[in-house]
Structure 1
Amino acid sequence: MATLSSEAQLRRLISNRLPAVNTAGCHFRPVQGLTGESWLIEGAGIRLLARQQMPDKYVLGVSRRREARVLKRCGAGLGPQVLLQTSAWLIVEWLTGDNISEAAFRALIENGELAALIAELHHRPLSGYRLNLQQQLARYWQRIDRRRMTPAWLSWQHTFMRSVPPQPLKLAPLHMDIHRGNLLLQGERLRLIDWEYAADGDIALELAALFRFNQFSSATQHNFLRHYAQHGYSDCGQLAAQVQRWLPWVDYLMLMWFEVRWQQSGDREFLRWSAALYQRFCLSSCCSQ
């Protein structure tokens, strides 16, 4: 029933706000992703993606209003075009292109094409939405399973909430979810999809997230930063040091995100990923004593 209600709501919205789009012969199909449901709308000459603002997504830090603003101000030629944004929905073009294989992703890293793409984004004007990691961590804290809480974990939370985040080297629009599943190849042009975590922040935070999410080795990180310096921030040594400062923040953000997703979905795979990060913090705490 919820699916039918969403489809009817979407049809009314498009009819009222996008009258040039004729939905009479269109098919509406839910598209499942990591953070919930979106809709693919297909018809004669029409391919759109509708993304709904849901309470669970808000908890995860997703704002369709912010996503639309970042795409409009910073995403031209890199991401999809925004067609409509309301309090409940964001409708964008459905980007077509070739999916990136694991081998192709490694090649994009090694030859510098991914670094060039990210540097291009980091040269775009700011969106006006500053990323606040501590605010997001506080929101996650309210949603995790208290039965899983340990004294060590409580100490980590207090540490991150009291600490001052690294002073940005350079503020820029960030995508904050770059992996091969969010990349498309259109001819010779790389495009980025799924901008729901995008906001303004330190370029080194984006790179720290990229390195952790995709498990870059030290050698791969060094090679990536060398390529990035050709297009973006030129001081490799300073940038590498700043990335290291952000890594604990990224690790903790990922730990909390996995815990919230476990609460939302009941998928034990999130617990497995969370456990690996928990152990990393335990080892780090032991080594620092």
Structure 2
Amino acid sequence: MATSNSEAQFRQLLQQRLPAVNTAGCHFSLVEGLTGESWRIESDNVPLLARPQTREKQALGVSRRREGRVLKRSGQGIGPQVLLRCHDWLVVEWLEGEKVSESAFTALNTGGELAALTARLHKQPLSGYRLDLQLQFAAYWPLIDRRRMTPAWLAWQHYFTQRKMPNPLMMAPLHMDIHAGNLVKQGQRLRLIDWEYAADGDIALELAALFRFNQFPPHQQRLFLRHYTQQGYADLPQLVLQVQRWLPWVDYLMLMWFEVRWQQCRDPAFLLWGAALYQRFCLSSVLPGNQ
């Protein structure tokens, strides 16, 4: 597993596996994100993005091998092209285009383009990698600071790892991290980047995650669902109910992710985001340990 993001590692990788890339003339620059760093590689041919598999990424549930496989099977024309996929690295094309601002993201939802892109993704072939939230909860659990555990949290963990998950309405490839920063606009065409959490799952799980991650108010959720059902799953009342069933699962996934991420980097922002979700669970009358 990659333990260093050194430029020398990238050059050696490209020389061995992508000999068509002129490494001598390459320019390397770091691309920093919420969960780590990747490298942009500018060559004589096409700009590339090299994404390492690190221990931190593995702890968060990321597999570059899976990411590359999902992109190849389910991301054609929506995500970047995969150029190299191996155990420690994923190299994809760098998608040139216009960055999407938060205001533009809202406009894309209002106009239906966001729903159209999501529906298009959900019509792609399954990747063969099924998303197992309960397995991810179990993997996150030992990475959380034991001093922060409460009896209520122990009850929540038991609830979410033992309770039967909602039966899927429709299985499809999911991106699971759709937000403004992961969209690229190429003229009238929208593309999705950063597929590291992508896998197969229920379409309503994707929509619940999209609503929660982006803090969509009810009217924005209704707009999205109205557009989505015109191109994707057509039963609006059933879809609304299914999204509601998945929301607590998404909230718990976010709470656990924020906690693990805080353990990795000690950025207090992750604690603040997690605290809001913790409070939401404390106020819930449905989950155990909250009465």
Q: Which TM-score band (shorter chain)?
A: over 0.9
Instruction: Give unpaired runs (5+ residues) of structure 2.
Output: none
SS of the residue corresponding to residue 107 of structure 2 reads: helix
Partner of 2:127: 127
SS of the residue corresponding to residue 173 of structure 1 reads: strand
SS of the residue corresponding to residue 40 of structure 2 reads: strand
Using the TM superposition, name which of 51-60 and 35-44 deviates more. Answer: 35-44
SS of the residue corresponding to residue 219 of structure 1 reads: helix
SS of the residue corresponding to residue 143 of structure 2 reads: coil
Code of the residue aligned with 1:187 in structure 2: it is G
Partner of 1:68: 68
Query: Normalising by structure 1, what TM-score?
Result: 0.97
Structure 1 pair 163–286 and aligned structure 2 pair: CA distance change class (3 A):
closer
RMSD: 1.5
Matched, 1:233 2:223: no
Per-residue CA shift, 1:144-173, capped at 9, x if unaligned?
111111100111001111101100000000
Query: Normalising by structure 2, what TM-score?
Result: 0.96
Code of the residue aligned with 2:54 in structure 1: it is M
Deviation at 1:250, TM superposition (A): 0.1
Per-residue CA shift, 1:175-220, capped at 9, x if unaligned?
0000000001001100000000000000000000000001111111
Code of the residue aligned with 1:222 in structure 2: it is R
Deviation at 1:238, TM superposition (A): 0.2
Per-residue CA shift, 1:39-69, capped at 9, x if unaligned?
1111333310000001110110100011001
Using the TM superposition, name which of 80-89 and 98-107 deviates more. Answer: 98-107
Q: Report the identity percentage.
A: 70
Matched, 1:104 2:104: yes
Partner of 1:161: 161
SS of the residue corresponding to residue 24 of structure 1 reads: helix
2:276 & 2:179 partners in 1: Cα distance? 20
2:216 & 2:31 partners in 1: Cα distance? 29
Deviation at 1:102, TM superposition (A): 1.8
Instruction: Give unpaired runs (5+ residues) of structure 1.
Output: none
Deviation at 1:21, TM superposition (A): 0.8
Deviation at 1:5, TM superposition (A): 6.6
Partner of 1:224: 224
Matched, 1:145 2:145: yes
SS of the residue corresponding to residue 220 of structure 2 reads: helix
Are the counterparts in 1 of residues 128 and 200 from structure 2 also a CA contact under 8 Å? yes
Deviation at 1:31, TM superposition (A): 1.5
Per-residue CA shift, 1:204-242, capped at 9, x if unaligned?
000000000011111111111110001100000000000
Are the counterparts in 1 of residues 21 and 45 from structure 2 also a CA contact under 8 Å? no
